[in-house]
Amino acid sequence: MNFAKKLTVAVMSLAFVCTVAIAPAMAEKPVVGLVMKSLANEFFKTMEEGARKFAKEDGTFILIPVGMNSETDIDTQVSAMENFIAQKVDLIVVAPADSVGMTIPVKKAIDAGITVVNFDVTLNKKALKTAGLPQDFLFVGPDNADGAEIVGDYLGKTLGKGAKVIIIEGNPGADNAQQRKAGFMRSIEKYNLDLLTSRTAHWETEEANTLMTNLLTMHPDVQGVMCANDSMVLGVEKAIAAAGMTGKIQIVGFDNIGAVQELIKQGTCLATIDQFGPEMAANAIKIGFRIVGGEKLSGWQKTPIKLVTKADL
């Protein structure tokens, strides 16, 4: 039997989910399961592209990427983890949609003898302890609070002390959303900004658009908006444009997706943070194979961040 017959991958394109039937013991190469968040988000699309490129260039392993249908679709992530456990893959790298909810599936995978690397969004420390995992469980990812503070500071310097601002938060269940809000709050305190409100749009463009449309009615004097990711920047920018307020309100984001780069060039978005998404999953896979090879790694393996403004594009 040739290798192609040993590996069957059924892709549900509508939900961006891969269901895998594989016998790793028969496979010629180790198998890596990549569990991402919403592939409707351009950031995770570029992450998947970067991981696929790395797998192709490396050539030593089989990559099976799985994404969610939306940012709050944690059930798909749990199902993906259970599927990878059942198929006995060699390595799982996971970006949790919910920092608490994904600890149990991670523990199940580890108990099944599978190496797991947590990347992008850190698992909750209390939940890790409750699940019987070390609180310094390996995390590969950026300093989300620092990144939000950097771009928040840039907004603060641009608007000046006392400016009226709004925070559009990510999914409250995700640690990176909590950290980014904390970073924005540091900037608000530092520049004595007037926080009108802080509301979640769960990372989603359309939800951010609806939310911002309503907030503009409630707070027409807002001068700046801090968005916890760039997908929400897109929704916020559309709401501001629809209200005829383009140029009157400054927007900052986080992720450096292509669509927001264009807004920055046009001057309708002030800045964002690049966390180098195309390389992030690849870095997590590399570190995972170091663990498979016998290294004992724990704690935080930091990945870079960078402020991106019009001058950088």
Does the pLDDT at position 21 exceed 60? no
Give residue 27's pLDDT: 56
pTM of the model: 0.89
Among 21-30, 45-54, 110-119, 256-265, whose mean pLDDT is lowest?
21-30
Instruction: Please say if the pLDDT value at position 197 is more than 60.
Output: yes
Q: Give 113's DSSP letter.
A: T
Could you give the C-alpha distances from 267 to 127, 133, 259, 264, 280, in angstroms and in order? 42, 46, 13, 5, 28
All domains of the chain in start order, with CATH: 3-141+278-301 (3.40.50.2300), 144-274 (3.40.50.2300)
Q: Kindly state the DSSP code that residue 271 receives in the 8-state scheme.
A: B
Please say if the pLDDT value at position 13 is more than 90: no
**Left if phi > 0, otherwise alpha if psi is -120 to 50, otherwise beta: which for 14?**
alpha
Residues of the chain above pLDDT 70, percent: 91
Residue 107 has pLDDT above 90, yes or no: yes
pLDDT recorded at residue 70 = 86
The percentage of residues in the chain with a pLDDT greater than 90, rounded to a whole number, is 89
Q: Are strands 300-302 and 250-252 parallel, antiparallel or unpaired?
A: unpaired
Interacting residues of 23 by C-beta distance below 8 A, sequence separation 6+: 6, 87, 88
In the predicted structure, residue 19 carries a pLDDT above the cut 80:
no
- Rounded average pLDDT over 253-276: 98
pLDDT the model gives residue 71: 85
User: What's the pLDDT at 28?
Assistant: 83
Contact between 147 and 304 under an 8 Å Cβ cutoff? The reply is no
Residue tagged 């004595």 (tokens): 192
Tell me how many helices (H) and strands (E) the chain has.
Answer: 11, 14
Mean pLDDT (whole number) for 121-140: 97
Question: How many residues does this entry show for the chain?
Answer: 313
- Interatomic CA distance for residues 163 and 156, integer angstroms: 8
**255 pLDDT more than 50:** yes
The yes-or-no verdict on residue 11 having pLDDT over 80 is: no
C-beta separation of 276 from 150 below 8 A: no
Q: Which of 14-23, 77-86, 183-192, 281-290 has the lowest mean pLDDT?
A: 14-23
- Residue 111: strand, helix, or coil: helix
Q: Is the pLDDT of residue 8 over 90?
A: no
Determine the Cα–Cα distance for residues 197 and 186; give it in Å rounded to an integer: 15
Q: How many CB atoms lie within 10 A of CB 3?
A: 11
Q: 72 falls in which pLDDT band (50, 70, 90)?
A: confident
Give me the mean pLDDT over the 126-139 stretch: 97
Which of 15-24, 83-92, 149-158, 207-216 is predicted least confidently?
15-24
CB 88 within 8 Å of CB 77: no
- In a 3-state reduction of DSSP, which class is residue 68? strand
What are the beta bridge partners of residue 165?
A: 195, 224
d(CA 301, CA 257): 23
- Is 20 a residue whose pLDDT tops 80? no
d(CA 83, CA 236): 37
What average pLDDT does this structure show over 197-216? 98
Q: Which residue type sits at 233? A: V
